A and B are shown apart, each in its own frame.
Chain A
Amino acid sequence: MANEQIFVGLEIGTTKICVIVAESRADDQISILGVGETPSRGVRKGEIVDMATVTECVREAIVDAEEKTNVEIGNVWVAITGSHLRSFNNRGTHTLPHAGQIQQEDLDMVQANAKEVALPPPNTFLHTILQAYHLDGNRNVIDPLDSEGIQLEADFHIVHGIKTRITNHLRCVEELNLEIEDVVLSSLASAQVVVTQHQKDLGVLVIDIGGGTTDYLIYNDGAVRHSGVLAIGGDHITNDISVGLKLPIARAEMLKIQEGSATDPSESEGGVITLKNDPGFLGCDIDRRSLETIIHCRVKEIFELVRADIENAGGGMLGLLGAGVMITGGCAKLRGIAEVASEVFDQAVQVSTARNVGGALQTFENPQYSTAIGLTKYARLITKDAQPQGMLERITQGFGGLFKKGGR
């Protein structure tokens, strides 16, 4: 990159492709210089289904960002999602031949051991995120480097996915002669800006509901404990409205944005929403309670599925959410969504946008940009540690290894 202080986050979403250009400030914060954006085509449920079309959309978004910020973009950080992504926690163990100081190669060895698991054949590692070190029975050692010890253990949260799908995601960017700095799980990127370090320590569930997917991530004691992707998002709500009220998709989308509410229909005042005649569309009166029923059912189901997945993962993680639940993503703007989540999780719930960022105010106050903004913050956090290497090489090796410390 010409300017080391400039970071570019690229999110190839189901409904939009978004490029955030941000600058690292002296006060350790990031400032958004501008946003490039274009409606997404060729992406379904967060995954590429038409590479040529997506490549063209990415090009448009990049050009848009360059024109708005006057920054020539050469390197990008790319978010990834999709139902093929899976995660699990695993512990690696490494015993030193003789008691002595823990070296960097020992840390690398314990991480490599944690990845000694049989992934499904088509899968590759995306992230190996450190949770905690344990040294000779001393639990939760923050930094064992240079400490004396024999048996080093470390817990990792490991994210993996189907290699070809990840590669296809990246090819759309590489086709434009852009260098990919790294590929980042969407929820991990969002979490960088929607929750504080204090909330990560207390325990927090971040749910990012986008157009095609719902991505979620749990922090506790400052480390990632669980993550998941559900291939259900705002597009499903729109589709439900379209099917239920027999409206064209575009009309259903407009109705969702303008009048949609996830509020429990039994608490609704009811009434009628009048849709006016348009060329090619015969106007009609919509029962508001029916609209709310459709949305409430879907939103509640999404949260219930997230809750069920977290419960199935074990560890009683839902009981460790001292900072409650944070909802972000485009669907976070849906009225009444926090109330539904609160009912399902029995936790305090907030709709959260990017925090501790400066610059274009309207951008970071909009939850639909959380992932792309989060990418730039993630980039700033790890740039000083990571030694960039070619993406193909990284895919071959698996995507892990970029983290040296937990809690990000």
Chain B
Amino acid sequence: MSGSAPRRFLVGVGNAGLTVLDLLALNNPGMKGLLCVNNDPESLSASVVTDRLAVPEGDPSEGFLAIDGPFGDMVSGASSVVLCGGLGGESGSFLLPALAILAKSWGITVAACVGMPFSFEGKQKRELAASALEKLRTVCDAVAVIENDRLTGGSPSTAAVGEAFSLSDRTILAALQALQGMITNSGPVKITRSDIKSVLGVPGAVTLFGSGTAKGPNRLHEALEHALKSPLLTAPGKNTPGGALAGVSTVLLLLRGPADLSFAEVQVAVTEIERIAGEGCQIKTGVHADLSPDAPITLSITASSGGGQTAEKPTAEKSKTTLLSEIPEAKPLEPAAHVATRAKPEPAPVADSIKPVSSAKPIKSTAGASTKGAKQSAGKQTQGTLDLDSYQRGRFDKSEPTIVAGEDLDVPTFLRKGIKLTPPHRN
């Protein structure tokens, strides 16, 4: 690396991570701070990312020892590292936590954006992925988890396998960019790192994520609608856009677009998300209005539901060798003998390092919160329960929105006020 080394790194690990970074590099020619790490020389050589670290084939733990030095040379001095890749495979499950531990031991802010295997990939892969995820969560400041099964609506039999993986890659990429955008903090309205931790630092939580991109006079609405329709933001078993957000305590909303991105547009997005998530939800907003005038706006929504308390993160003082002992005991891998010899064994299992944090608010259960929200919003209405889509503009869907005091008045009033109606009875 040259002397003007990037301060922020996006690191793609394994084949999935490499594919994601390739997509990113192709869409952003000349982008710096991209690094691919993989043990598959063929895919590495085919990558369009220029900075690559080849992990020797064979035992990943051995291979890792061959790259920890070069990796350190590259990222030392960086302010943040965001790792991405798929969990469940050999390389991702071992290398992602290992690289996270290394970067963290140098005092770098570390986040990860990872995909969990599809059900059809087998139980063993899922178990390995779960174990690796647990390790990642103990190390990283934030982890966004893309549940691949949810992307295909839980029924991969109806989706082409190639398309399912492609969808997974694109979603990881969108989440990666959102995470990077939140961490870089360059916009006039910022999401703090503690905000990110409060949402993506919750062990066991399900990550809710959606993003949308649009341009033109109705760009905000189209981007918001697309984001809310993301499978990861749809309530399981229902087809309500954004339904999974009901009752979450915090939502991270990131908007990126040209300089004419208006306050009213930001306000519309916030108001709509508040309406869906419920009154108790905090919206943490980040805005980057730094793109070229003809660029589209990109809106991303990140939240989490369920899970436990915020995990205690390892401190920078904790030695690298100690941390390395926490690398998952991946089943397909041999015990990390080399690493173990370098590391001082930790007597306590990783789970023990997760301590309750008194100030951490437990995330409300979705069901409970949505019941409360419905009760508050329904007011005096005691009528039935027509299950309406949460975001409908009907005939005004493609027209310039009428925004007054931050509200989109094209959305029916009764919807904005959360009033339930009796459904029509078909003869």
Chain A residues packing against B (C-beta within 8 Å): 44-45, 83, 230-232, 235-236, 239-240, 242-247, 249, 266, 274, 277, 282-287, 289-290, 293-294, 297-298, 301, 305, 308
CA separation between A235 and B394, bound complex, in Å? 11
Name the B residues within 8 Å of A284 (CB-CB).
424-427
Residue of B nearest to A240 (CB): B412
CA separation between A236 and B384, bound complex, in Å? 23
CA separation between A287 and B383, bound complex, in Å? 10
Interface centre among B414, B422, B424, B426 (most CB of A within 10 A): B424
- Assess the B427–A290 pair: CB atoms within 8 A: no
CA separation between A236 and B386, bound complex, in Å? 20
Within the complex, which residue of A242, A294, A305 is in contact with B395, where a contact is CB–CB below 8 Å? A242
Interface centre among B399, B413, B425 (most CB of A within 10 A): B413
Closest 8 CB pairs of A and B: A287-B422, A240-B412, A297-B413, A290-B421, A284-B424, A285-B425, A283-B427, A239-B394
Supposing A230-B404, A232-B409, A244-B421 touch, asked if A293 and B414 sit within 8 A by C-beta, the answer is: yes
Q: How far apart are A202's CB and chain B's nearest CB, in angstroms?
A: 29
Q: How far apart are B124's CB and chain A's nearest CB, in angstroms?
A: 46
- Assess the A243–B388 pair: CB atoms within 8 A: yes
In chain B between 375 and 427, which residues have their CB closer than 8 angstroms to a CB of chain A? 380-381, 383-384, 386, 388, 392-396, 399-400, 402, 404-405, 409-410, 412-415, 417, 419, 421-427
Chain B residues packing against A (C-beta within 8 Å): 380-381, 383-384, 386, 388, 392-396, 399-400, 402, 404-405, 409-410, 412-415, 417, 419, 421-427
Sample 17 A-B pairs with CB under 8 A, ordered by A number: A232-B409, A236-B396, A239-B393, A239-B396, A240-B394, A240-B413, A244-B388, A247-B424, A284-B426, A284-B427, A287-B424, A293-B383, A294-B413, A294-B414, A297-B414, A297-B419, A301-B409
Supposing A239-B395, A282-B426, A284-B425 touch, asked if A45 and B404 sit within 8 A by C-beta, the answer is: no
- Assess the B417–A297 pair: CB atoms within 8 A: yes
Name the A residues within 8 Å of B380 (CB-CB).
266
Q: Could you list 5 further interchain pairs (A-B, Cβ under 8 angstroms) beyond the known A236-B396, A244-B388?
A: A45-B399, A240-B412, A293-B419, A294-B413, A297-B412
- Assess the A294–B426 pair: CB atoms within 8 A: no
- Assess the B402–A244 pair: CB atoms within 8 A: no
CA separation between A236 and B395, bound complex, in Å? 9
Name the B residues within 8 Å of A294 (CB-CB).
412-414, 421
Name the A residues within 8 Å of B422 (CB-CB).
287, 289-290
- Assess the B386–A244 pair: CB atoms within 8 A: yes
Residue of B nearest to A273 (CB): B424
CA separation between A187 and B423, bound complex, in Å? 38
CA separation between A232 and B384, bound complex, in Å? 28
Residue of A nearest to B401 (CB): A231
Q: How far apart are A331's CB and chain B's nearest CB, in angstroms?
A: 14
Name the B residues within 8 Å of A297 (CB-CB).
412-414, 417, 419
Interface centre among A230, A277, A285, A290 (most CB of B within 10 A): A290
Supposing A230-B404, A289-B383 touch, asked if A243 and B426 sit within 8 A by C-beta, the answer is: no
CA separation between A107 and B395, bound complex, in Å? 49
- Assess the B415–A243 pair: CB atoms within 8 A: yes
Name the B residues within 8 Å of A245 (CB-CB).
421, 424
- Assess the B412–A231 pair: CB atoms within 8 A: no
Name the B residues within 8 Å of A282 (CB-CB).
426-427
Residue of B nearest to A282 (CB): B426
Supposing A245-B421, A284-B426, A294-B421 touch, asked if A305 and B404 sit within 8 A by C-beta, the answer is: yes
- Assess the B383–A290 pair: CB atoms within 8 A: yes
Name the B residues within 8 Å of A231 (CB-CB).
402, 409
Name the A residues within 8 Å of B424 (CB-CB).
245-247, 284-287
Name the A residues within 8 Å of B400 (CB-CB).
45
Name the B residues within 8 Å of A298 (CB-CB).
412-414
Name the A residues within 8 Å of B419 (CB-CB).
293, 297
Name the B residues within 8 Å of A246 (CB-CB).
423-424
CA separation between A242 and B414, bound complex, in Å? 12
CA separation between A283 and B425, bound complex, in Å? 9
